[in-house]
Amino acid sequence: MAKVLYTANAHVSGGRNGHGRSADGKLDVDLRLPTEMGGTGEGTNPEELFAVGYAACFESAIGGVARREKVEPGEVSIDAAVSLSPTGEGGFQLAVTLDVSIPGISDRAEAAKLVHGAHQVCPYSNATRGNIEVTLLLDGEPL
């Protein structure tokens, strides 16, 4: 087994209408169904948390790939959309769209190479590969 670099620990009670807290207390959130699913929308939900986590991880992966390629991407930003839909078999599935902006790289092919490289090394991408649909966009345009 590979050397573990970090383990995050959290406790949730009450599910989608409950409360979540990281072991260190830095994340402490009320969980609520979004209004689209009949909830109040007064808290956050697992899809929002997943979107923030995936986007942050992916941005770090772009930075790592850029360093390896010896290019300066500037201030990268990512808009992440995580969709929840029924499978038709009683379950649910996720789909993700990551819309990446790399203003420090003017050459679209070079920017696309960074995005594709990040998708190969990002732990979220590796965890979801083959399990959910992940769509990559660069400034709103498909890659």
pTM value? 0.95
Specify whether 40 is located in the same domain as 50.
no
H helices present in the chain, as ranges: 46-69, 108-121, 123-128
**pLDDT-derived band of residue 100, with 50, 70 and 90 as boundaries?**
very high
In a shared domain, residues 17 and 76: no
User: Is 102 a residue whose pLDDT tops 80?
Assistant: yes
3-class secondary-structure state, position 127: helix
**Residue 5, SS3?**
coil
Q: At which of 26, 44, 62 does a domain end?
A: 44
pLDDT at 2 over 90: no
pLDDT at 30: 97
| Residues 78, 124: Cα–Cα separation, whole Å | 14
Hey, how many other C-beta atoms are within 10 angstroms of the C-beta on 50?
17
For 3-51, what is each residue's pLDDT tens digit? 999 999 999 999 999 999 999 999 999 999 999 999 998 999 999 999 9
Per-residue pLDDT at 1 exceeds 80: no
pLDDT tens for each residue of 123-140: 999 999 999 999 999 999
Q: Which domain holds residue 35?
A: 1-44
pLDDT given at position 69:
96
Q: Do 92 and 128 belong to one domain?
A: yes
Q: What is the mean pLDDT of residues 70-77?
A: 96
Same domain, 27 and 70: no
The answer to whether residues 72 and 104 belong to one domain is yes
Distance from C-alpha of 22 to C-alpha of 9, rounded to nearest angstrom = 6
How far, in Å, CA of 75 to CA of 77, rounded? 7
User: For the chain, what's the residue count?
Assistant: 143
Tell me, yes or no, whether 90 and 121 share the same domain.
yes
Long-range contacts of 16-19 (CB under 8 A, 24+ apart): 16/45, 16/46
- Summarize pLDDT for 81-97 with one digit per residue, the tens: 999 999 999 999 999 99
